Structure 1
Amino acid sequence: MLALSVASPAVAVAPSSAPVGQPAQANGGLTVKDVHILGPVDQNAHVAARDNGQSVEYHGKSYWFFDDTMLQDPTGFLSSTAAVTTDLDASDGISVQSANPFDLTDTSSPTEFVPYSAAETQFQNAHASSDCSGSTDVNCGTQFAFWPGSVVADPAHQRILVFYGKLCRGGLDTGPCASGFVGQALGSGIVSVDMRTHQITRLNVEHQDSSLTSPEGEDPTLLFSPSQNFGNGGTVLVGNELYAYGNCTNTNACGVARAPIDRVQDRAAWSFYAGTANGRPVWSADAASSVAVMNGGAAGETVHFDPATKLYMNSYMPFLSHQVYYQTSATPWGPWSAPDVLYTAPTTSGVEYAAFAHPEYTTDHGLTRYYTYYTSSTGQQILVRVDFTKG
């Protein structure tokens, strides 16, 4: 089974059934009418399994980003991969065949999406070993991994931004990365995908938190600590302001932070929703002031603005649940409505998680929408169509 992306406390335990905050408008009058489990997304032939799978539309194409990826013919393993497709009609399924996020015709074996730094590569090579038994090197066999999280298109700057979590795994039981396959979370950052030059870059952070460390030494790309983890729980762009969800509690109640889209790499530009005062939202420079505003899901959730209802919509699958929920709000910080069931994933011999919405595939004036979730029983992304009625 691929790793369940639960490096932060965001998905440590099942969420409570009670919504966070006060009820908002009842989902804009949207009610689920029919659910159709359409089957697996058609992926690159070299992919045996890969989890997560979040997407965004940019200039008429859909860009997809995945976490742990098992390869076949030849076999291999990558912690992050990406793809692009012009298939924006999900009524007959979705085909995501490309090996990278730029070349539609390249269907060779996918390559690593999030780039490694020279220091990370050097550290891995220095501690590489096929047998760490009896070793006194606590970092013996340690490897870094990068799990892409939420994704947002930034056409004003001709780029796509992908939040990611950095972790290390392997090493001795007494080492800093000991935790088995899941790994130890080290923090999170942002990848910029330049749509002009096709350069993929981890953004260096200005005014970085000096407490953020990594086994190889200083990592200038870490933006948030593992517990804060803003951006790996959903993002939504409102004008020039990027809202990022994270800082989730052990009941999967998540907070929200914001920053100007052109200053996302500046830690000092981020502020955190801290509740209300005299009926007005309060935004604080202190991440510790963040308060929970909405529900979160296993491996993240999707937040997007819905033109059909003119509300923000959050969809998520709780940890070790087969039900996917949705809730709405008039603002990115809430209050969010009580969650309603969106669909129920069939039970299999594996684990179902990483349920995400794909708004670029929405049709019928917002009444037909498409979602995916991952099932470890087959290693596939399962496509779901949900038809709504609107009162």
Structure 2
Amino acid sequence: MKLLRRSAAGLSLAAVLAVAAGAGGASAAGPAQGDGAGPAPSAGGLTVKDYTVLGPVDQNAHVVGRDNGQSVLYQGRSYWFFDDTMLQDPEGFLSSTSASTSDLDASDGITLRSTTVFDRTETTTPTEFVPYSAAETAFQEEHASDDCTGSTDVNCGTQFAFWPGAAVADPSHHRILVFYGKLCRGGLDTGPCASGFVGQALGSGIVSVDMRTHAITRLKVEHQDPALTSPEGHDPTLLFAPAENWGNGGAVVVGQELYAYGSCTSANDCAVARVRLGDVQDHDAWTYYTGDDARGRAQWSHDPSAAVAVMKGGAAGETVQYDPTTHGYTNTFMPSPFLDKNVYYQTAPHPWGPWSSQQTLFTTQSTDGLDYAAFAHPEYTTHHGLTRYYTYYASSTGQQMLVKVDFKES
């Protein structure tokens, strides 16, 4: 996961720091659904020809900065989901926001001025994307305080936050599914949410964005792990434990199956889980890739501890997508711990691999601050897959930077 923060003294955006990794990646549909990139020129591989940093994404005027920035295509419109967001006029801070656009031509930039995924007003202030439960709101109000000095309430000043991760289209159920991580931050050093603004991870779940009713809801979990707890009490929407965090490390849909990446190691090696789209909220329906048998057939287990690492993860997540140009899968990521200015990609014939060695995609241009949260946006692909668009977050400016990459067949 990651964090966009500003100290109480009001530091400028040049002082914004990234402090954690693993929030997730965006997704395009697999071969059964396609991504609108057009017919493939061949089944061969691709290599980078050159790239151009086009500049910042044009965002809502009230947005000072927001990180992450993953997108998904649904019926001709691109839907975007962001994490920590700083606002101006009036000042504010939200842990999740969203936007959408019908302009899929990124050659002249990307404009994301809408207030939310459904409210296309450009002049109003963005609002929180992931909804809070009544219990969470009541807990925050009960422990709210501007000064916890001398307080005996270990939860004094505690707030919840929700960081969106991977997003996938599920048109068979008329919805977009967005993974999210839940955390709490604030409170005393002796409290359950200690660790300053970074907070404590509490688990992860899935938001359903209903494309017919426009309802945005956190899915309630079937067969929930009873060990998952939250400071406000029982949270029925927590699907995975913090260490697993499936779906906040990339996700891709193939037919009616959803593949989600997570359970990443300190070396950013991530495993993969799968489930049928109609069963995403049933914890017991998920299975985990454990390797191939002697005949090369993929093996899956209901035991998440048996999962094996298959690919590299990125700082704040990665994008895993089906690539109709190469008839395989591509993983785009920018490594943690935020010391590498390069964005990489690797390929595989199946969502579980075997994944190739990483190749350099492009290099970010910032001369100071930290760059992270690099994601692909397949819905903007042109020239039969040979021109593609990516974004990354530049902490020195608070901007989402847009990059065009031109490929050649190899």
Q: Tell me the amino acid that sits aligned with residue 4 of structure 2.
A: L
Which residue does the alignment assign to 1:130?
A: 146
Which residue does the alignment assign to 1:59?
A: 75
Deviations 1:94-150 (A, max 9, x none): 000000101223431000000000000000000000100000000000000000000
Q: What is the rounded CA distance, in whole Å, between the counterparts of 1:318 and 1:68 in structure 2?
A: 20
Cα contact 1:115–1:201 (8 A) shared by 2: yes
Distance 1:298 1:28, change over 3 A: farther
Q: Tell me the amino acid that sits aligned with residue 242 of structure 2.
A: P
- The count of residues paired between Structure 1 and Structure 2 equals 376
Which residue does the alignment assign to 1:304?
A: 321
* % identical aligned pairs: 70
Instruction: Show structure 2 runs of 5+ residues with no match.
Output: 6-17, 25-42
Specify which of 1, 4, 21 is matched with residue 2 of structure 1.
4
Q: What's the offset of the Cα at 1:28?
A: 4.2
Q: What is the rounded CA distance, in whole Å, between the counterparts of 2:119 and 2:44 in structure 1?
A: 39
Specify which of 176, 184, 192 is matched with residue 168 of structure 1.
184
Q: What is the rounded CA distance, in whole Å, between the counterparts of 2:240 and 2:57 in structure 1?
A: 32
Which residue does the alignment assign to 2:30?
A: none
Q: Say which SS state the counterpart of residue 141 (structure 2) adopts.
A: helix
Deviations 1:160-182 (A, max 9, x none): 00000000000001111011111
TM-score after normalising by structure 1: 0.94
Deviations 1:34-53 (A, max 9, x none): 11000000000000000000
Q: What is the rounded CA distance, in whole Å, between the counterparts of 1:155 and 1:240 in structure 2?
A: 10
Q: How does 1:146-295 map to 2 (within 5 A)?
A: 146-278=162-294, 279-295=296-312
Q: What is the rounded CA distance, in whole Å, between the counterparts of 2:169 and 2:59 in structure 1?
A: 22
The runs of at least 4 aligned residues of structure 1 exceeding 3 Å deviation read 7-10
Worse-matched range after superposition: 97-106 or 43-52: 97-106
Cα contact 2:23–2:317 (8 A) shared by 1: no
Q: Tell me the amino acid that sits aligned with residue 283 of structure 1.
A: W
Cα contact 1:124–1:143 (8 A) shared by 2: yes
- Is 1:50 aligned with 2:61? no
Specify which of 351, 361, 382 is matched with residue 363 of structure 1.
382
Cα contact 2:60–2:122 (8 A) shared by 1: no
Q: What is the rounded CA distance, in whole Å, between the counterparts of 2:280 and 2:379 in structure 1?
A: 24
Specify which of 334, 347, 358 is matched with residue 317 of structure 1.
334
Q: What is the rounded CA distance, in whole Å, between the counterparts of 1:375 and 1:315 in structure 2?
A: 17
Q: What is the rounded CA distance, in whole Å, between the counterparts of 1:158 and 1:337 in structure 2?
A: 34
Q: Tell me the amino acid that sits aligned with residue 316 of structure 1.
A: F
Q: What's the offset of the Cα at 1:6?
A: 2.6
Q: Say which SS state the counterpart of residue 81 (structure 2) adopts.
A: strand
TM-score after normalising by structure 2: 0.90
- Is 1:384 aligned with 2:400? no
| Cα RMSD after superposing both structures | 1.5
Distance 1:106 1:8, change over 3 A: closer
Q: Say which SS state the counterpart of residue 275 (structure 2) adopts.
A: strand
Q: What's the offset of the Cα at 1:87?
A: 1.3
Instruction: Show structure 1 runs of 5+ residues with no match.
Output: 11-26
Q: Say which SS state the counterpart of residue 224 (structure 1) adopts.
A: coil
Q: What is the rounded CA distance, in whole Å, between the counterparts of 1:9 and 1:95 in structure 2?
A: 24
Cα contact 2:256–2:277 (8 A) shared by 1: yes
